[in-house]
Structure 1
Amino acid sequence: MRVTILVDNLAARGLEAEWGLSIYVEYQGHAILLDTGASDRFARNADTLGIDLSTVSFGVLSHAHWDHGNGMGTFFARNPTAPFYLRQGCGETCYDKTPEGWRYEGLQRGLLTTFAPRIRYVTGDFSPLPGVTLLPHKTPGLAQRGLAANMYRKVGDQWLPDDFSHEQSLVFSTPKGLVIFNSCCHGGADNIVREVADTFPGQPISAIVGGFHLYDTPAQEVRAFAHRLGETGVTQVITGHCTGPEALDILTQVLGSRVQPLSTGLVLTF
């Protein structure tokens, strides 16, 4: 399996960065796109890297935030046939509660309606391809994490703490173990590794790839999280985007060589 980071907060020379994430995966003869970043920059980087988005078999949206899905229109223009898999319940509903009021953090307004024929909503454990699984969160009480982070969903006239039911993990089976992609890990990367381990008992977890949403988390909490993540036994921790440089430093202090930073243009093989 070969993985190319099409956009991240950091970029190699000649490529563009943004606050967002998009990952291109080549797996058993199929091309898969995870997220589309915040704009069309993922596609421009793909052109620079010689990656043809028209060959993608299907796309996956990790969760319903603008910095992961606002490039979907560009992808659909580049690829006329591939479906895009979203977790059931994804909608234009995500907000942050700030001192100034409610701040919309969801997908571009109208995107889900405009591209409805290309979108597939999934529930439960869903396998779009042998060896590939989309997993929902299975950890109870995640709404408490949303409440603590001032993250909400507007459902009708109600403001509900986000339980991240719109977030999903993309899991690949490889000869050396399972590789997990979860672009922001709002449910907690340590919880996500355990969710995957419980779903696939007896299979080693080779790696987790994605952002960990730690950029504004106090250092003491990051350090405690790093120890919990290490206790899961995951072999590689490849992280960037919303993790933040300070948290990345702490993760590296605790987990050592298991940690590798993400950046636009990075190529990984599993």
Structure 2
Amino acid sequence: MEITVLIENLVYNQGLFGEHGLSLHILDKETSILFDTGQTENFLLNAKTLGIDINKVKYTILSHGHYDHTGGLKSLLEKNNKIELMVKKDIFQKKYSNSTGNIREIGLDNKISKYNNIKYLDKNIVSLTENIFIITKINNYNDFENDEKKLFVKENNKYVVDKFIDEVFLVLKNNDDTLTIITGCAHNGIINILKTTKEYFLNNKIKQVIGGFHLKGKSKERIDKTINELIKLEIQEIYINHCSGIEFFSELKNKNSNIKVIYAYTGSKIIS
């Protein structure tokens, strides 16, 4: 399978756009899939430059309901209204952040819920193709990843810390029976995500992890614990971007381990 980073925060190539957001394109044989849609329509412009035909996209999966992963969806559906949109119902819950010191709304436009071709994910694991699976329930295996303080939802008219019950991630089964994990932000914790994967795929090694790890601005203790767990899990390759944080990238890159660490900037192509 081929994974292309259609957009993320960093861009080097002339003619491509970068933004605080994430969108990936996955090609599984003849099946064209989008994972997240960035913050704006810029991922569509990048797709055209990179030679990816949006009209051939069959499925779009949204990892969670934040604007930087869903903001380009309206523009996408205007281009291709045959796409099957795959989400959890909880994705339409209003979301808020106080990362700037003031509470602001950062969620998905609820008008999207009127789209005719939505498939709501109501099973813990959904088979998208023979080799691609959507995991919709992320188990909790540790306490150190439960440190969210700035992202909220509303319950009974009060702001409460978001538990991200809308979050999903992808598992790709490779030709050699290894696994590639694709995550949007890993708000529930990247280690929780990887250990959840192991629950479903007991006999498959995790070869690659791709996407955002939500470790920007996190403590050194949290970063060190995450790296130690990644080493224990014997991950071979990590392609990080978006919300992962330069501190985490640097620490992981400089760690004396067998993990191959690459920053997956806008336009990057990864073969799983």
Q: Same fold (TM over 0.5)?
A: yes
Aligned mates of 1:26, 1:163 — CA distance in 2 = 31
State the shift of 1:188 in Å.
1.1
Residue 243 of structure 1 is matched in structure 2 by 244
Return the letter of the residue paired with 2:270: L
Identity %: 25
User: Which is worse superposed, 159-168 or 46-55?
Assistant: 159-168
Measure how far apart 1:218 and its partner are. 2.1
Q: Secondary structure at the match of 1:80?
A: coil
Aligned to 2:105: 104
Q: Distance in 2 between matches of 1:103 and 1:265?
A: 31
Query: Do 1:142 and 1:163's aligned partners in 2 also have CA atoms closer than 8 Å?
Result: no
User: So what's the TM-score if we normalise by structure 2?
Assistant: 0.91
Q: Which residue of 2 aligns with 1:267?
A: 269
Q: How far 1:134 moved relative to its partner?
A: 0.8
Check the 8 A contact 1:86/1:119 in 2, yes or no.
Answer: yes
Residue 174 of structure 1 is matched in structure 2 by: 174
Q: Indicate the SS of the match to 2:92.
A: coil
1:98, distance to aligned residue in structure 2 (A): 5.1
Q: State how 1:167-206 maps to structure 2 within 5 Å.
A: 167-176=167-176, 177-206=178-207
CA contact 1:82–1:118 (8 Å) conserved in 2:
yes
Trace 1:35-74 onto structure 2 (pairs within 5 A). 35-74=36-75
Aligned to 1:122: 121
- CA-to-partner distance for each residue in 1:162-217, whole Å, 9 max, x for gaps? 11111001111112311110111111111111100111111111111111111111
C-alpha separation between the residues in 2 aligned to 1:98 and 1:185? 18
Question: Is the 1:43–1:75 contact (alpha carbons within 8 Å) kept by the matching residues of 2?
Answer: yes
Unmatched tracts of structure 1, length 5 or more = none
TM-score (norm 1): 0.92
**Is the contact made by 2:91 and 2:166 (CA closer than 8 Å) also made in structure 1?**
yes
Partners in 1 of 2:262 and 2:253 — Cα distance? 8
Q: Which piece of structure 1 moves more, 98-107 or 260-269?
A: 98-107
Shift of 1:103: 2.1
* Contact 1:62 1:183 (8 Å CA) reproduced: yes
Aligned residues: 268
- Cα root mean square deviation, aligned: 2.0
Deviation at 1:57, TM superposition (A): 1.1
Equivalent residue runs for 1:133-152 within 5 Å: 133-140=133-140, 148-152=148-152
Contact 2:145 2:222 survives alignment (8 Å): no
Tell me the SS of whatever aligns to 2:140. Answer: coil
Gaps of 5+ in 2: none
Which residue number corresponds to residue 20 of structure 1? 21
SS in 1 for 2:5: strand
Tell whether the 8 Å contact from 2:92 to 2:113 is kept in structure 1 after alignment: no
Residue in 2 that maps onto 1:10: 10
Q: List 4+ stretches of structure 1 deviating above 6 A.
A: 141-144
**Distance across 2 between alignment mates of 1:87 and 1:7:** 23
1:147–1:161 CA contact under 8 A, matched in 2:
no
> Which residue of the partner structure matches residue 228 of structure 2?
227
Q: CA separation of 1:208/1:46 partners in 2, compared to 1, >3 Å: closer, same or farther? A: same
**CA distance in 2 between partners of 1:48 and 1:73 (Å):** 20
Stretch moving more, 147-156 or 169-178 = 147-156
